[in-house]
Amino acid sequence: MSKCIVVIYSFLILVQSFNINVDDLSRLNALIQHAKYHQVVYGDDFLEFISEHYGEKMASHQNKHQGHENLPFKDDHHMCSHINTSFTLLKTLSYAVYSPMITEIPLNFFYKEPFSSFEKPTVFQPPKIA
């Protein structure tokens, strides 16, 4: 039973890492219809359609026709750019750090051992005459 729960939780974490929400799932019908439109009008296959709308040809194809705003996975939350906004919105701060040049390092280190193995205290001496 515990293995089944582990598999279910692992699958849940995997699906959540794809960042797919219910709104995107409801727009899959618009994706299929728009792909069929591209197949009829432009003669594109599905991989070419994905490349034009989600890949490297997206910038050149964006203004050719309407209907791109209804496609799924086009929201800003899929770009992961909201993570770094706290760093990009700040003004550039520059600090001038002035540190004096250290030419001589003073030696103020003195170490004295807490005990010496050469001197034996009287307590640990062997008995002399018993």
What would the pLDDT profile of 89-108 be if each residue is shown by its tens digit? 556 667 777 777 777 776 77
For tokens 């280190």, what's the residue? 109
- pTM above 0.75? no
DSSP readout, 13-51?
HHHHHTT--HHHHHTHHHHHHHHHHHHHHT---HHHHHH
At 90, is the secondary structure helix, strand, or coil? coil
Joined together, the tokens standing for residue 104 give 């001589």
Mind listing the pLDDT tens digit for each residue in 1-55? Answer: 889 999 999 998 887 777 777 778 888 888 889 889 888 988 888 888 888 888 8
